[in-house]
Every structure is written in C-alpha cells, then in structure tokens.
Amino acid sequence: MPDLPPGVDVLWGRREQAKRGPRPNLSIEQIVDTAIDIASAEGLGPLSMNRVAENLGKSAMSLYRYVRNKDELLQLMTDVSAVKNAPPEPDQDLGWRPNLERWAYALVDLYRRFPWVLHVPLGPTPPIGPGQLAWLDRALACFRRTHLPAEVRIGVVMLLLTFIRGQVRMSQEINLGAAGAAAGYPPYGEMLRMVVDKDQLPDLAALVDEGVFDDPGEGMSDREFELEVRFGLTMIFDGIERLVSQFEEAQ
Amino acid sequence: MPDLPPGVDVLWGRREQAKRGPRPNLSIEQIVDTAIDIASAEGLGPLSMNRVAENLGKSAMSLYRYVRNKDELLQLMTDVSAVKNAPPEPDQDLGWRPNLERWAYALVDLYRRFPWVLHVPLGPTPPIGPGQLAWLDRALACFRRTHLPAEVRIGVVMLLLTFIRGQVRMSQEINLGAAGAAAGYPPYGEMLRMVVDKDQLPDLAALVDEGVFDDPGEGMSDREFELEVRFGLTMIFDGIERLVSQFEEAQ
DNA sequence: CCCAAACTGTTTATGCCCTACACGAATTGG
DNA sequence: CCAATTCGTGTAGGGCATAAACAGTTTGGG
C-alpha cells in the first residue's frame, strides 16, 4: 500500500510520537503558528526557515526534525489557516443560495485574513488536509436539498473556489501596485494615456478617455473591492440558479 | 513628470540606443526569447539569470545591461508571450457572444502554450504592455454594439480574465499532481477515502463514495479539462447575457 | 587626429537561501 | 547499564540575485 504524501499524517494527527530520545522542545503546532504569524505580518518573502527558528529561539536546522521541507511547512500553514478560519455551517432551512453566499463571502474573509495563502505554490496533490476539506464539505452541504448531480456540484464549487481565489488575489496585487504609486509612478490612468494609441487600441482608448481607470482614492478601497467581488459572484450565482432550476424541472 | 515603471519603455520600443561604446552583442529580444524558451520547456523553476546567459553563451551579469531586474525580465516575458499569441479580431457582424467566446478560448490557448505565465508574480503596476493591452482591447471591442456602460464592460472582462486564469492554473496543478502520482502516491480518490470521515464530512464522503474523485485515466485529460472550462464559461456567459439584455431593455 | 567620455561584457565578491551531514547530548527499552 | 533512538546544533555546500570594480571598444568634440 503506497504511503500518503508528506505532511498529511501530521495534518490528521496520525504522527506516531517517539519513544526513545530526549523530549521534543518544540511542536509542529508552534512552528506552523509562528510561521503563520510571520507570513501574516510581513508576507511570504521574509519567511525563511532561519527566521522562523529565530522567532522560536532555536536553530534553523531544528525545524527539519518536524518538517521535511519548507514546502511541507507551507502546505501545513495553508491548511491550518483554513482551520483557524472555519467555514460557516449551512442552515438547511434557508435554501442553497443564502447558504452558499455566506460560504463564499466567508472564503473571501479567509483570504483577506491570510493573504499569503494565495501565494503558496500548490503541493504535489490536490487539497487533502482537514481544514480545506471542511471548506469543501460545507459548500457541498448547501446542495443537499437540490437535485444537482454529483459532478455538477463539484464543478460549481470549483468554479467558486477558483473565481474567489483569483479575484481576491488580483485585488491584492492591484493594492500592492497602489503602494508602488508612492514609489513615484503615475496612477494607472495616467500611464495608460501615455501609451494607449487611439488607432491601435480604439476600444481601450475610449474607456481611458472616459476616465474609467482614474482611481479617485488611494488604490482600491475596501468598498470598491466589495463591489467588484459582489458583481462577479452575483453573475455566477445567477448562473447556478439557472442550473439548479433546470435539474429541478427534470425531476 | 514622473517616469514610467521600468520595462515599459522597452515594451513600447522607446528605448534610446546608445551612441558611444561598443556595439551590443545581444538584444533584449534575444534575451527574452531564450528566457521564454527555457520557461516554456522546463518552467520558471530552472529559469535563472545564469541559465539564460549560459544559453546565450554569455556571462550572467551581461544581462543586467539590458534588464534591470529578474522581475523586469519576467514582466517582459509575460507581455511578449501575449504578443506571440495575439487575441483574435472580433467580427462585428457576429454579436458579442460568439466573439467573446472565441476570445476566451484563445486566452485559454495562450495559457496552455505558456503555462509559466500563470506563475509570474504580478509587477508593481497593472498590465501596461502592448501585448496585454491588445488582449484587453479586443475583449472590449466585442461590446461595441451593446449598451453596457463602461464600468460594467471592464467588470465583465476582468471577471473572465480572473476566471480563466484561475481555472487553467488549477487544472495545471492538478495535472502536476497526477505526475506526482508516479512518485508513489495513491490517486486522489484513494487518499480521500483514507482520511474522509462520514461523520465529520458527510457531504464530501457521499461524493467520495460515488467515486466522483476517482479519475479513470492518467490525471485530467484534455477533454476533461475542456469540459470543466466550458462548464464554467457557459455559466458566466449566461450571466453576461442577462446583463446585456437588461441594459438593452433600459435603452 | 586624439583623447576623454560612454558603453559593453566579465570577473570577483557579498549576502541570502535551503538543506545534507556529522556530532554531542538526552532519553529509554531491554 | 548499555545500546538504540531521538533532539538540537554547527558546519558546510550549492544555488541564487546582484553590487562593484575593471578591461576592452566605440565615438563625439576639440
């Protein structure tokens, strides 16, 4: 029987504790927590094994007694963040749409609380930790009273996952760009006016002239972001609604 | 007047050529092209300044005469890939939906031809190169005959961009995971059966029992991927259709 | 015509990073 | 009580981006 990928045993608490040898002075939980603290405060850039060990008052190599890899540490961090911010329990009296909407906005909150999660390179397998699977399960639970076939349910949930992930990530990066505006670059609208040619990019030029790209405030405000996400989610939920009613009629 | 971000002058061919000094033995085009070749063949991991220079028969530091940063090189690569795979010209006799669908699937092709683009960290500003702006323009051109207001047009295009980006990226990573299956891991369905508990994750367990996660072939086939993308895009396009007809009636 | 200025490519060096390895110290089963 | 096992650390190796100094090449101005 083949083994599970590294880290999975840890996530599900199936790591057998040592019988011999000195007592461990650290724990994976401590390591992952401090790593999460660093990443949440300063991002993934400054997160190095050295830095984590330093914050724990230990040497860098000591971490490798608990974690095979830096990548494994990142995977653990990702799943633990999903545990720290658990999905809401759907209320089966409410119908699928309000429940799924609550779920979706809770996911947005997760990515806003732990922005670095969006920059963790995906591991060798699809999500398999308890945190991420709990999110998956709660989304699927919203469809209990519908007649959607199994494949469609997953398809819909995956659609929401990728869309929310992409949207939050993009807004993050746009915000980062706004911070770069302090570095001396002109605002986006200005830059576009400098390079966009009316002949080669006519439709874009029209929008630039309308001032659509001229951000009034500093970068993208929380309200603007909310609107952008809500816009996309509404469109997607409308599509799901059509799908659900199709399979309801077929019943 | 503040300067443009680094690399923009290069992208738009506004780099002034040197008058003094020896003739350059390299060109940015060469550098970017070989970098693209490496990344397309082996991914961003093995792409280092040393490696690029090596493939050109030069020393690593020579590249810094043409490029400020590795990050700038990555941004250039991204835009050039969008030029090498240009967006289709919309046919104004066809209506917005067929045109936008062609555009969307062409974008999917772009990301499949240059998978590494999805892993390039976004730069200090939103896209400003001619390649990416051309894609933006061609998408906007699809709405010429509609009455959508400007903000909605951008919103829709952004929605498509993030969705396609996320979807292709996820399928890439799943495929990578399938490659990891050769490393000795059991298939995803098996692993889920090992960890998913019927009491704690009932809805997920139901789907696991149905065998939804048991991939018949090796990883995700092209056909499966096509279906997945088509599924999401259809839902989104239905949502756009609703939106367009709303503003048509309001006219 | 000639020299100084400007530019190119290379060599060298610095400072990070992850991590393989070997070691001494601590703990415990037989 | 010894041998096996485990823990934490120090050292070192290899890779990376890139700063700085330098030698060689081209050209504009006197």
Q: What is the DSSP letter of B54?
A: H
Q: Could you tell me the sign of the dihedral formed by the alpha carbons of A204, A219, B243, A103, in that order?
A: positive
B133 has pLDDT over 70: yes
pLDDT of B179 reads 62
Q: What is the DSSP string of A214-236?
A: --SSSS--HHHHHHHHHHHHHHH
Higher pLDDT, B84 or A17: B84
As a rounded value in angstroms, the CA-to-C1' distance for A170 and C30 is 61
Q: Which one, of A163, A161, A167, A188, lies nearest residue A177 by Cα?
A: A188
As a rounded value in angstroms, the CA-to-C1' distance for A19 and C24 is 20
For A63-114, how does the pLDDT look when each residue is reduced to its tens digit (9 = 90+)?
Answer: 999 999 999 999 999 999 999 999 999 999 999 999 999 999 999 999 999 9
The mean pLDDT of A217-244, rounded to a whole number, is: 79
Q: Are A38 and A51 in contact (CB under 8 A)?
A: yes
Cβ B194–A122 below 8 Å, yes or no?
no
pLDDT of A177 reads 61
Report percent pLDDT > 90 for chain A: 61
Q: What is the DSSP string of A33-92?
A: HHHHHHHHHH-STT--HHHHHHHHTS-GGGGGGT-S-HHHHHHHHHHHHHHHTPPPPP-T
The mean pLDDT of A106-130, rounded to a whole number, is: 90
Q: What is the DSSP letter of A114?
A: S
Please name the residues in contact with B34: beta carbons below 8 A apart, sequence gap of 6 or more.
B52, B55, B56
A172 has pLDDT over 60: yes
Nucleotide nearest to B56 (CA to C1'): C9
B138 has pLDDT over 50: yes
Nucleotide nearest to A45 (CA to C1'): C17
Residue A1 pLDDT class (50, 70, 90 cuts): very low
User: Rounded distance, CA B180 to CA B178, Å?
Assistant: 5
User: Rounded distance, CA A209 to CA A14, Å?
Assistant: 60
User: Rounded distance, CA B164 to CA B159, Å?
Assistant: 9
The CATH number of A8-82 is 1.10.10.60
Cβ B238–A236 below 8 Å, yes or no?
no
* Axis-axis angle for helices A49-56, A28-42 (nearest 10): 110
B202 has pLDDT over 70: yes
Residues of B in contact with A176 (CB under 8 A): 122, 124
Protein residue closest via CA to C1' of D20: B61
Structure tokens given for B70: 């590795």
Residues of B in contact with A10 (CB under 8 A): none
Higher pLDDT, A121 or B95: B95
User: Rounded distance, CA A246 to CA B120, Å?
Assistant: 40
The mean pLDDT of B115-128, rounded to a whole number, is: 85
Residue B14 pLDDT class (50, 70, 90 cuts): confident
Q: Which one, of B18, B102, B154, lies nearest residue A212 by Cα?
A: B154
Q: What is the mean pLDDT of chain B?
A: 88
Q: How would you class B76 by CB atoms within 10 Å of its CB: exposed for 0-12, middle for 13-18, buried for 19 or more? A: buried
Find where tokens 């995906």 sit. A122
Domain ranges within chain B, ordered by starting residue = 8-82, 86-178+219-249
Protein residue closest via CA to C1' of C7: B21
Please name the residues in contact with B223: beta carbons below 8 A apart, sequence gap of 6 or more.
none
User: Rounded distance, CA A92 to CA A57, Å?
Assistant: 48
Q: Which one, of B236, B11, B221, lies nearest residue B103 by Cα?
A: B236
B128 has pLDDT over 60: yes
Report percent pLDDT > 70 for chain A: 89
The mean pLDDT of A178-198, rounded to a whole number, is: 78
Cβ A201–B2 below 8 Å, yes or no?
no
- Which strand (E) or helix (H) includes residue B40? helix B28-42
Choose the weakest-confidence range: A28-37, A100-109, B177-186: B177-186
A234 has pLDDT over 80: yes
Residues in chain A: 251
The mean pLDDT of A118-126, rounded to a whole number, is: 80
Q: Which one, of B148, B66, A251, lies nearest residue B139 by Cα?
A: B148
Q: Which one, of A214, A100, A118, A213, lies nearest residue A162 by Cα?
A: A118
Residues of B in contact with A195 (CB under 8 A): 8, 12, 128, 130, 133
Beta carbon of A192 within 7 Å of strand D?
Answer: no
Q: Is the domain A86-178+219-249 a CATH 3.90.550.10 member?
A: no
Which chain B residues 110-129 have CB under 7 A to strand D? Answer: none
Cβ A134–B201 below 8 Å, yes or no?
yes
